[in-house]
Structure formats: C-alpha cells, structure tokens
C-alpha cells in the first residue's frame, strides 16, 4: 500500500463518540468524489468514552481508516504531530472530529493548492460558537497577525490542507497547533486561506476552557520568539543587555565625576546601587544570550533552512 496514498486526512479525536460515525459518513462520499487514493487517520487522544471502539469498528469496515491511540490525553498538537508522522499522502488535510468542519469544503482547499500554495487555512468567517470563544479568538488572531506577519484570519482553524513537505517540516508540540500558519510561513511555505462553512457542535462538549486564553498568549510569545530569534538568541537578549549595561555605566560615570571632580561623597547615593545593579543585569542578559547561541549551535536536529528543490 505504501506510496500509493495520494491524500491523507488527519483527525484528532478526544471524547467524540457520537461524532465519529457521522463524520466518516460525510467524509467518505466527498473523498470518493475527489478520485484520489486516500487514507483517513484518526488519532484518539486518550479518550475516556467509546471513541476508540467506534474507531476500531470503522477500521474493520474500511481499511483506509487508520487509527492511532494515545495512552492518555496529550493534547491536540501531539495528536496532529503523530498524524503528520503517519500521513503518506502528497496532500494532507486536517480537520476537527466534532463535525463542526464541513467536508464538502474540501475542493475549495484543493483549488488553492493547485494555484501553488503549500498551506491553505480555513477561515470560519461565520463561526458557530459562543461569544466567549469568538471574542478571545478574534483578539488573538489580530494580535498574532500583527506579530507574525501572516495574513490569515483564523490561524487556529483546524480545517487546513497542506502539501506533504509542510507537515513533515514543521514541529508542533505543547499548544503550538494554533500557530501552524506562522510556523509554516517562517519556513518559507506559501500560505493562504479560504472561507469555510462552520457548524454548531451537535454532540459532545468543547474541550477548551478559559485557560486557553492564557496559554495561547504564552504560545504567541514562543512563536514570535522562535520565528524571529531562535537562530540568533544574542540579538534578542543582547539588546536589553546593552541597554541596561549602558544605563549602569553612565550612571557610574556620573558618580565618578561627582566624586573626583565635584569632591562629593557618593557612598550612600542610591544611584550607586542602581548603577551596579544595571551593569550586573545587563551582563546577565548578554551571557544568557551567549548561552542561547551555544545551545542553538549544538542543537543539530532543528532545521536552519528548508530546501524546496534539490537537483543532483
């Protein structure tokens, strides 16, 4: 079978027992119509309901359905990452397992891929979720658009189509799946978006609460840092380092002037403490940056660049 698959659909599933059969029921006709050899990879992210038995049932019925099961809940990023490892198709789709994404939209993504894009991101422009989800998500998306420079409205939308190179290249862990477009853009892939139909959740519950706000913000800092400075940490830490050192240095210089030229006592001046403090802090920053450089230099497995073509 290996090498024959042209299209892989990756679906993370965490306690979606009622959604699995209907999702397969919707996916199959759409995929059959596309006329590509396909596989559907479900990753059971440690479900505690009947999701896995449901998936097993599908697998027995249709050998194109592949199932991976985590021993516990590792999160959506881990689920997607393991699906990406397994996927064999030249084209890969990801979508939620809760029926909110509409498989009928798949051809739209494919036409964008045909236009030459490497990653096509769904945009739930009429999102069918509560306001407690929609508002924070809007804020995040505009923040991340500004910070990462990737112009997609709905970075976190799971409904995406990728060329194989993209999924094999980007490394997602923690909660980084929200920033796949930024990571792909950083690696030099061409990213675009298409508007998609979004539906209300009929069965089961959303798995994300308010904590996602806070975690999402930390992840945004990670992504910004990784995509900008991962390869040159000293540029990041060195800047505050030099600023602090310079403030400390000039404050010290001023005190020396007071002591030797103006003949004043400086031993009890708060500025003296401040000056020493700033020089130390500044030095710390610079050394942290240098340690970062050492780590970057020895961490061989993280790609520095991403080759598109090799002719030999």
Residue ranges in contact with ligand UDP by CB under 6 A: 12-14, 16, 45, 73, 75-76, 79, 96-98, 100, 158, 206-208
Contact flag: residue 100 with Mg ion (CB under 5 A): yes
Which of ligand UDP, Mg ion, none sits in contact with 132, Cβ below 5 to 8 A by type?
A: none
For ligand UDP, the closer of residues 69 and 207 by Cβ is 207
Which of ligand UDP, Mg ion, none sits in contact with 180, Cβ below 5 to 8 A by type?
A: none
Which of ligand UDP, Mg ion, none sits in contact with 222, Cβ below 5 to 8 A by type?
A: none
H/E element, 114: helix 106-114
Min. distance of Cβ 88 from ligand UDP in angstroms? 21
Contact flag: residue 98 with Mg ion (CB under 5 A): yes
Longest CA–CA separation in the chain, Å: 92
Question: What is the 3 state secondary structure string of 262-307?
Answer: CCCCCCCCHHHHHHHHHHHHHHHHHHHHHHHHHHHHHCCCCCCCCC
Min. distance of Cβ 101 from Mg ion in angstroms? 8
Contacts of 158 (CB under 8 A, 6+ apart): 12, 76, 94, 95, 96, 101, 122, 177
Min. distance of Cβ 48 from ligand UDP in angstroms? 12
Q: What's 74's DSSP letter?
A: -
Which of Mg ion, ligand UDP, none sits in contact with 73, Cβ below 5 to 8 A by type?
A: ligand UDP
For Mg ion, the closer of residues 75 and 89 by Cβ is 75
For ligand UDP, the closer of residues 97 and 233 by Cβ is 97
Min. distance of Cβ 148 from ligand UDP in angstroms? 20
Min. distance of Cβ 64 from Mg ion in angstroms? 24
Give 2: exposed, middle or buried? Use CB within 10 Å, 0-12, 13-18, 19+. exposed
Collapsing DSSP states into helix, strand and coil, what is residue 94?
strand
Min. distance of Cβ 208 from Mg ion in angstroms? 8
Cα separation, 25 vs 101, whole angstroms: 13
Which of Mg ion, ligand UDP, none sits in contact with 249, Cβ below 5 to 8 A by type?
A: none
Which of Mg ion, ligand UDP, none sits in contact with 175, Cβ below 5 to 8 A by type?
A: none
Closest CA to 177 of 70, 95, 303, 76: 76
Which of Mg ion, ligand UDP, none sits in contact with 289, Cβ below 5 to 8 A by type?
A: none
Closest CA to 26 of 52, 70, 74, 58: 58
For Mg ion, the closer of residues 201 and 224 by Cβ is 201
In the block, tokens 């309901």 appear at 49
Closest CA to 249 of 286, 213, 224, 201: 286
Edge-to-edge strands, sheet with 119-123: 65-69, 38-44, 7-13, 91-94, 160-163, 119-123, 191-195
Collapsing DSSP states into helix, strand and coil, what is residue 147?
helix
Min. distance of Cβ 100 from Mg ion in angstroms? 4
Contact flag: residue 16 with Mg ion (CB under 5 A): no
Min. distance of Cβ 98 from ligand UDP in angstroms? 4
For ligand UDP, the closer of residues 201 and 269 by Cβ is 201
Number of residues that bind Mg ion (CB under 5 A): 2
Contact flag: residue 101 with Mg ion (CB under 5 A): no
Which of Mg ion, ligand UDP, none sits in contact with 89, Cβ below 5 to 8 A by type?
A: none
Positions in the binding site for Mg ion (CB under 5 A):
98, 100
């Amino acid at each position: 079978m290996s090498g024959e698959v042209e299209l892989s659909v990756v679906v993370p599933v965490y306690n979606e027992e009622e959604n699995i059969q209907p999702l397969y029921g919707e996916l199959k006709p759409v995929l059959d119509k596309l006329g590509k050899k396909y596989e559907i990879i479900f990753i059971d992210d440690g479900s505690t309901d009947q999701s896995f038995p449901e998936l097993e049932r599908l697998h027995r019925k249709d050998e194109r359905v592949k199932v991976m099961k985590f021993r516990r809940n590792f999160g959506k990023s881990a689920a997607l990452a393991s699906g990406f490892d397994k996927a064999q198709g030249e084209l890969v789709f990801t979508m939620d397992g809760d029926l909110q994404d509409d498989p009928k939209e798949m051809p739209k993504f494919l036409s964008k891929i045909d236009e030459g894009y490497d990653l096509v991101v769904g945009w739930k422009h009429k999102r069918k979720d509560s306001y407690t989800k929609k508002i924070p998500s809007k804020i995040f998306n505009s923040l991340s658009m500004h910070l990462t420079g990737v112009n997609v409205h709905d970075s976190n939308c799971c409904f995406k189509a990728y060329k194989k190179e993209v999924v094999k290249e980007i490394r997602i862990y923690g909660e980084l799946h929200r920033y796949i477009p930024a990571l792909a853009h950083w690696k030099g892939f061409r990213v675009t978006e298409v508007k998609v139909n979004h539906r209300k959740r009929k069965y089961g519950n959303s798995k994300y609460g308010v904590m996602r706000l806070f975690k999402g913000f930390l992840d945004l800092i990670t992504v910004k840092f990784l995509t900008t400075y991962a390869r040159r940490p000293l540029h990041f830490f060195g800047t505050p380092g030099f600023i602090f050192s310079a403030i400390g240095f000039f404050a010290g210089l001023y005190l020396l002037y007071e002591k030797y030229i103006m003949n004043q006592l400086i031993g009890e001046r708060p500025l003296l403490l401040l000056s020493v403090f700033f020089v130390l802090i500044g030095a710390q920053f610079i050394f942290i940056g240098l340690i970062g450089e050492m780590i970057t230099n020895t961490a061989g497995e993280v790609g520095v660049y991403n080759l598109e073509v090799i002719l030999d």
